Structure 1
Amino acid sequence: MSSNNLTNLVDAEKVFEISEINRIVKNILLNHLEKVWIGGEVSNFVEASSGHWYFSLKDSSAQIRCTMFKGYNHLSSITPKNGDQIEAFGAISLYEARGDYQINIEQVREKGTGNLFEKFVQLKDKLEKLGLFNEENKLPVPAYPKNIGVITSASGAALRDVLSVLNKQQNFNQVVIYPCSVQGKEAANEICAAISKANVQKMVDVLILCRGGGSIEDLWSFNEEKVVNAIAQSKLPIISGVGHETDFTLTDFVADMRAPTPTAAASVILEKLNKLDEYFEYYLSALQKNISNLLKSKNQELDFLEKRIVSPKDKLKRSKELIHNLKKQFTTTLKNKFFNAEKEIDILRKRFTSPQEKIQRAEERIKNTEKDLNYTALRRIKEQQSKINFIDEKLNILNPRNILAKGYSIVYNGLDVVKDSNKVDLNDNLDIQLHSGTLLVQVKNNKKH
C-alpha cells in the first residue's frame, strides 16, 4: 500500500481512540493482504472449551500468534501438538481488544505435505495419461469368490476389521493373508511382492488391499508408481480399501474397485456372498413351482381323457393306447425334469461347495417329491385302468352274441326284427338267427293275442 493511501485513511489532525486505530489496522491487514501459507514450530497450543485452537508458530528468530476457530479445525486431518512442524493457511488479522497481530488459520497440514500433494497430482496426471486408470482395463470382481486374499499388515486393525466382516458369512473356502508393511521405506516393495505372490500362487479369486487411515505421508506407499503398476498388471481383481472415506490414494484409481475403508472392502465381498443364499432359494422355489404346474397340467389331461372314454371297443383300444403313451411321456418328462433338476443342483453344489447341509436338505426334499409324484401317477393310472376294465365288462355283458349263447334267438321278417306276433301273417317266411347259424321257417300257425 502506498503512503498516499495510508494518508487517506488517517487524519493527521484528529486524536484517535485506541479502538479506532486497531480497527483501521485490522481493516488494512484484512483488505489489502492476501491469505498466505506459513510454516513453523507449534508452541503454547491450547484447545479452548469452545472448541477453538490457540497457539503460536515460531522459527529461530520470530513467532506469531495463531487462531483456528472450531468451524475450520473440526475439518482438519491433524491436531497439532507443541513441537510439531506444520504449515498453516489463513488471513493476517488483528485482535482489536489487545492490539495483538495474529493469523486466523483455515487449514493446517504437516510440514512438507504440500510438496507431497503436488507430487501426488503430477504422478496421477502421468499415470492417467498412460491409461492405467481407464475403466476398460479393470477386471470384474467375481460374483461368488470362493477364496479371498488380504494384503495388509498382519498386526493392523484393518486386518481385524476385514476378518470380522467376512466371518459373518461362511459361503467361501478360505481367507489367505499376504502380510506386508503398509508404511515406511520398504512398504511399497513388500506390497508389490505380495501382489506378485498372490498372482503366482493363484490360491484366491480376489484380493483386498487395505490399511487404516493416516496422513498423506503415512499413506504414501499406496501412491508409489511401482505399486500402481503392480495393481495394473495383476491378473487377479483387486479391491482397494485404503484409509478413511476422505482419503484417496493412487491405488484407489487403478484398482478394479475402490472401497472407502477396509471394512467397506470386506462388505463388498460379504454382499456378493449373501446373494448366493438368495439365488439358491430362488432356484429351488422355481423348481418346485414348475413341478407343481406340470402335475396340474397332467391331471387336467387325465381328466379330459376320462371324459372322452366311450363304449365302442375301438375307442376303448385307442384310449388304452393313448393312456399308455401318456404314461410313457409323463414318466419320461418327470425323469427329464428330475434329471435336469439334479444336474442343476450338481452344478450349484460344485460351484458353491459350502452350504452342504442346505444342498443335502434340498436333495432330500426333491427325492421325497419324486417319490410322491411316482406314487400319485401310478395311482391315477391304476384308477383309469380300473374304469376301462369296468366299461369293457359292461360291453361284454351287453353284447348280443353273448345273449344268443344262452339259448336266445333273434327273429327277422325281412329286415325287421319280430317283437310282436301280431306283426306276422300266416305263410310269412321268417329268419331265425341262433348263436351258431340261421334257420329259415314258414309260419303255419299264429297264436295272436
Structure 2
Amino acid sequence: MAKQKLEELFDDVPRVSVSKYTAAIKKILEGRIPPAWVIGEISNLRSQSSGHLYFSLKDPGAQVPAVMFRGQASRLGFVPKEGMQVLALGEISVYEPHGRYQLIVREMQESGEGRLFKEFERLKRKLADEGLFDAARKKPLPALPLRVAIVTSPTGAALQDFIRILKRRSWGGRLHVFPAKVQGAGSAQEIEEAIRYVNELGGYDLLVIARGGGSIEDLWSFNEERVARAVSESSIPVISGVGHEIDFTLGDFAADARAETPSAAAEMISSSYIETVDRLEAARVGLRDAVDEGLREYRREVDRLGRALKAVSPVSALERAFLRVDELSSRFGAAFRAAVYDRRNELRALDERLRAQDVGNRISRLRERLDRLERRLDRSLVERVVALRSRLDVAGATLRAISPEATLKRGYAILEDESGKPLASVSSVKKGASLRASLSDGRLTVSVDAVEAKDV
C-alpha cells in the first residue's frame, strides 16, 4: 500500500486565503462581542498629528491595543496620560492588514469612575447571588395600564420627554408624578421612599423610575443597594427607564422591564395601550358586525316567511286579480287611444294630399314657371350672340393683323424660286439664280448677284 501524503489526510478541511480567513475572524469578533466598558491602565500612549490616540489598556493579567479617533478624543474632559487608570467604552475591531484586533474607544472616563464600576460589579454579583435579578421574580407588565406612577425629578427633561411621548401617541390613562432627587446626596433614599410609598398607596397598574443620561457618577443613585431592593420588592410591576441605551444600572436588572430611555418607557406603555385599544376596537366592530349580520339574517327570514304566507292567502289571490284587471284596463285604454290617434293622422294626411291635388293651382304655377324659363332663355340667347360676335370681331382683327397682305403692306416681300416655292434659307439659293419677289402691289423678277450666309 502506497504511503499516503500528509495533505491527503486533510482533504476535507477547507482551504482559504489569508484575506478571507482574516475577514472571517473579523466577522466573528465584531458580530458577537458587544460594546463594553473596559477598565485598565493606559500604556504606550501615542498622540498622532491627525489627533488620533493610540495606546494599550492593561491590567496585571492582559493588555489590549486601543485607538480613539480625533472626533471622540477632542471631546474628552481630561488629558490622557501614561499609567492613568481609565474606564473606556469601546467595541472590538479587527485591523485586517496587520491581522490583529483592537478596541475602538468611543468614550473614556478617569479612574474615579473605575472604582465606582468595581463597586457596581460587586453589588451586582451580591444581589444576583441573592436572586434579586432572577427571571422568575419578574412580574408581567399589564396589557392595558391606565393608572401609572412615575418616580423622577419633576423638573428634569426625562419627565417632559415621557409626557410628550404619551401625549403624541394619544395614551388615554392617568399619570401621577412622585418627585424625588435623582442625583447627589440623599437621592437614593428619596427614590427608595417614593417607590415604597407608591406601593403603600396601591391602585396603580404600573410604576416607572426614570432619569436622563449621564456619567456613572450621575446615575449612581440607581445603583444603590436600597434602590435595587425597593424595585425588586415592589408589588406593582416596575419599568426602569434610566440613562441612555448604553447605560445599565442595578435598578434595570431588578426591574420587571428595562427601557433604554425614559422616552422608550413611554413608548412601551403607550404601545401596549394602543395595541389593547386596537384589539378592543376590533372586537367591538366584530361584535357589532356579527349582531348586525344576525339581525339582517333574521329580517331576511321573516320577510321570506311573510312572502310565503302572503302567496298562499285568499287576500293575496284577490289582490293579484285586482292587479290583473287594472293592468288589462290600462292596456285596453292605451290601445284604444293609439288607434284613434293613428286614424286621426291618416285623415289629416289624406286632407293634405287632396289639397295638394288642386289642378288649377298646379297649371297656374306651371305657366308661371314656363314664362320665367322663356325669359331666361331669351336673355341667355341674346347674351350668347353678343359674346360670340365680340369674339368673332376680335379674331378677325387678329387674323387681318397677321395675314401676308398686312405683312407686305409694312414693306416686307416674299421671295420664291423659279418653281414658285417660297424661300426660307439662303442655303438653297445660288449666285445668278432668278427669283420672284411678291410685294403688296405686284411682283418683281430679280437676279442673285451674291449669296452671304449668317454665322450661327
> TM-score under structure 1 normalisation?
0.49
Structure of larger gyration radius: 2
Normalising by structure 2, report the TM-score: 0.48
